[in-house]
Structure 1
Amino acid sequence: MTDPTADSVAAVGPAYSSEAYAAVVKAGRSHRNTLYVPSVLEQAAELLTDLWSAGERHGVTAAEWGWTVDLASGALDVVARRYERPEKERTVEETLTLARHLLEALTSDEIGLSAKLGPRASVIVERGADTPRGAPLLTIAAPASQAGASQVAEIVRALVHGELGNPFRR
């Protein structure tokens, strides 16, 4: 007996277009002192894809949005806002747990950075020879989870090794 729903299952893939993802990445580059983990960029690209689709249902093409509003930047801002630091909503133990997740990810064999816990549940990462000079503080928008910490660690690794250029001078 065959499964009647087997033919109706769509191929699993990203829920966003490559154009939307590229637009969100470009918007993220223009935001000073903030970097975004891949999952945040993907969520924003999915939102942007949906916004463009809604516009198309009303006869507005994706290109037409550019003359009035930067939807890519707006989608990224809305998604990233979810991950701003809600200090009042987290217990001290929850905050310390997140810092420990980040420290573990940064010092893992895969990432291999030198880091230590700092004041107020911060994590201090040792600069490398290729680490760009700049402000000592850089925001990275990411989910407050162990998976988010792993994504942050990958961005910090790339920053320490000079692979991101100098995000302090955008």
Structure 2
Amino acid sequence: MDPVTHEDDLDLPPLHPDDMPPQLQEALRRMSARGEGPVVDMATGAVVAREGRLVTDAPSDASQARVRRIYDGYAGLYAPSVVAEAAALLDGYLATAEQHGLDQKAADDGGWLALAAAEAVARRYGRPQDERTSAELNQLGRALTAALTAEGLEVVPTPVRMGVGVAPVPGGPRWGTDGGLAVALYADSGWELMVNALRTTSYTIHAPATVAGASEVAQLVHAVLRGDAADPFRRAR
């Protein structure tokens, strides 16, 4: 006779919030918004919802604001997708802390969790673990040129090695003798923003080295050229 297997003996995988029906997702959000702490998966002990949000929802506004404040204190530029990724990691840190009986304020009273999340994600978009190939660099260079053009910016020659020059925009700030900026991506670097000149300081644009990341880079460069974003060259003086 085959042994009888009880439901309690089954090694079932945890149910991911995204796999739940919409009605259950909304119920979990409401339960977690009551101020009684996070909603926990009884089978695994994992937090599935907190403060009216599923753990798989978009990053919380509070965590995004905290990450932005940290990045605003640095000289580099940070793409929106990087801010969102760091905020999601911070939300995960806070959910784990709540799982261990700590509320958010006690868990990150000194801001160390927010700083750890921001810096861990930023490091992913600086120097790569493996050097990029020539084919990858060529593809991303073409993607950057296309993205800058799509932003309505004028791509110009540059003395910056492997760089793409960008002309200044009317009414915007100017740098150096040419007035514009340049962006470069190397085999062992992230996206780098420079003055369009032979001798220049560079600042990392933390963004994915992908076609989508190139679009974010172009948008950030456009914001600097308009004067709408913090100018790393002037803030470093």
Q: Which interval holds the TM-score relative to the shorter structure?
A: 0.7 to 0.9
2 CA distance for matches of 1:151 and 1:15?
19
158-167 or 80-89, larger mean C-alpha shift: 80-89
Corresponding residue to 2:116 among 74, 78, 91: 74
TM-score (norm 1): 0.81
Structure 1 position 150 matched with structure 2 position 166: no
Specify the alignment match of 1:22 in structure 2.
65
Specify the alignment match of 2:163 in structure 1.
122
Corresponding residue to 2:141 among 96, 99, 117: 99
Which structure shows the bigger proportion of residues in helix conformation?
A: 1
156-165 or 134-143, larger mean C-alpha shift: 134-143
8 and 100 in structure 1: CA distance in 2 versus 1, 3 angstrom threshold: same
For residue 115 of structure 1, report the CA deviation from its aligned partner.
1.9
What amino acid is aligned across from residue 66 of structure 2 in structure 1? A
- Contact kept in structure 1, 2:67 and 2:115, CA below 8 Å: yes
132 and 31 in structure 1: CA distance in 2 versus 1, 3 angstrom threshold: farther
CA displacement 1:67-119 (0-9 Å, x = unmatched): 2x5322221211121122338521112112111111110012xx111124655
8-17 or 123-132, larger mean C-alpha shift: 8-17
Specify the alignment match of 2:36 in structure 1.
none
73 and 132 in structure 1: CA distance in 2 versus 1, 3 angstrom threshold: farther
- Contact kept in structure 2, 1:96 and 1:121, CA below 8 Å: no
15-24 or 88-97, larger mean C-alpha shift: 88-97
Structure 1 position 162 matched with structure 2 position 227: yes
Match of 1:138, SS?
strand
1 CA distance for matches of 2:172 and 2:209?
28
1 CA distance for matches of 2:24 and 2:157?
50
Q: Which has the larger radius of gyration?
A: 2
Tell me how large the CA RMSD over aligned residues is: 2.7
Sequence identity percentage: 36
58 and 156 in structure 1: CA distance in 2 versus 1, 3 angstrom threshold: same
- Contact kept in structure 1, 2:126 and 2:204, CA below 8 Å: no
2 CA distance for matches of 1:132 and 1:166?
11
Higher relative CO (Cα under 8 Å, sequence separation at least 6) belongs to 1
Corresponding residue to 1:31 among 63, 74, 88: 74
For residue 14 of structure 1, report the CA deviation from its aligned partner.
4.0
9 and 139 in structure 1: CA distance in 2 versus 1, 3 angstrom threshold: same
Q: Show structure 2 runs of 5+ residues with no match.
A: 1-19, 30-53, 177-193, 196-201
Q: Show structure 1 runs of 5+ residues with no match.
A: none
2 CA distance for matches of 1:87 and 1:131?
35
TM-score (norm 2): 0.60
Specify the alignment match of 1:113 in structure 2.
153
Which structure shows the bigger proportion of residues in strand conformation?
A: 2
